Amino acid sequence: MGEKESAKIHALNGQPDPTGSGSENEGAPARSRGIYLLPNLITSGALFSGFYAIVASMNGNFEAAAMALFAAMVLDAADGRVARLTRTESAFGAQYDSLSDMVAFGVAPALLVFAWSLQSLGQVGWVATFIYMACAALRLARFNMQDDHAVFVGLASPAAAALLAGLVWTFTENAPRSLGPDGLGAVALAVYTAVVGLLMVSPLRYWSPKTIRLAGRVPFFTLVAIVLAYAGVMLDPPRMLLGGVLIYAASGPVMFFLQRARRARVAAEKKSAETR
C-alpha cells in the first residue's frame, strides 16, 4: 500500500497519518468522527436538571430544586441504558456522563443543603458541604477506574444526592420555602451531610442496579411489586423516596456487619473443631 493510500485511509478514520507523508490534503484538519446524539442528549438533560437545581436553590425554591435532582437521577439512569441498548456507548459519552454527575450529584445537592440550612452555621456549614462535594468527586473518579460495575464500592453519587434532596423536599413540602432547620437541626444536618459524603468513599459494597436486565424475563409478581411501589411513591413522593434511599444506604453497613459476624462465627467454629 502506498503512502498516499495509507494517508487517505487514516484521514477517513479520523486519525493522523502515521507516515507523516505529504499529500494533496496535507495541512487539512482530520475529519471528526462525531458523537452519538441520543445518549448524550439524555445526559445533557441530566446536566440541565442539576444546573436548574443550583439556580432554584439560590433563589430559595428548595422544593423545585429537590425535584430537579430526582429528575436528574432518572435521566442519569436512562442514558447508560439507552447507550447499551442502542449500542452507542463511547469514551466521550462516559466522560460527559461523569462531568454531568459531578454537577447534578456533587455540586447541586451541596449547594441545596447549604442554601436551605447550613449557611446559618457559617464556616462549619460550608466545610460540611465541601466534604460532601469532594467525596462525590473522589467517588466518581474511583468509579471511572473500575472495570467491574456489578457491585458498587461506596454509595453511588445519585443515591447520596437523593439522601440530601429527599430530606430537603420532605421538610419543605408543607413549610415556607425560606424555612430551614436552624440551631441543633442545622448541626445535625451538617453531620448528616458529611456522613453521606463519607459513605461515597467508604469500602462498603452496595447492590448495583446495572445488573438488572430489562430484556430478560421476570416472575409475574415482580411486575406487581413494581406497580405497588409506584403507587406508594405517588401517595407521598418525598417521604417514600427518602425512605427507600435510606434503606438502600443502610444496606451497605448492614451487609458489612453481617459478613463480619459470619466470618467471626466460622472462625470460632473452626477453632473449636481444632481444639477437640
User: What's the full length of the chain, in residues?
Assistant: 276
Q: Where are the domains of the chain?
A: 37-264
Residue 9 confidence (pLDDT): 43
pLDDT, tens digit (0-9, with 9 covering 90-100), for 237-258: 888 899 999 999 999 999 888 8
Residue 234 confidence (pLDDT): 83
List the chain pLDDT tens, one digit each, 276 residues. Answer: 544 444 444 444 444 444 444 444 444 444 456 778 888 999 999 999 999 999 999 999 999 999 999 999 999 988 888 888 888 888 888 889 999 999 999 999 999 999 999 998 989 999 999 999 999 999 999 888 876 666 788 899 999 999 999 999 998 876 555 556 778 889 999 999 999 999 999 999 988 777 666 666 777 777 788 788 878 888 888 888 999 999 999 999 998 888 888 888 888 777 777 776
170: Cβ–Cβ under 8 A, 6 or more apart, which residues?
238, 239, 242
Burial state string for 125-144 with b = 16 or more CB within 10 A and e = fewer than 16: bbebbebbbebbbebbeebe
Rounded CA-CA distance 157/244 in Å is: 15
Say if residues 240 and 232 touch (Cβ distance below 8 Å): yes
Which grid cell is 221? 409478581
Residue 10 confidence (pLDDT): 45
Residue 132 confidence (pLDDT): 97
CA dist 140 → 39, 56, 94, 125, 155 (Å): 19, 24, 11, 23, 11
Residue 192 confidence (pLDDT): 95
Say if residues 151 and 205 touch (Cβ distance below 8 Å): yes
Residue 14 confidence (pLDDT): 44
Residue in the block written with cell 456533587: 106
Considering only CA atoms, give the Rg of the chain: 24
CATH topology of domain 37-264: Four Helix Bundle (Hemerythrin (Met), subunit A) (1.20.120)
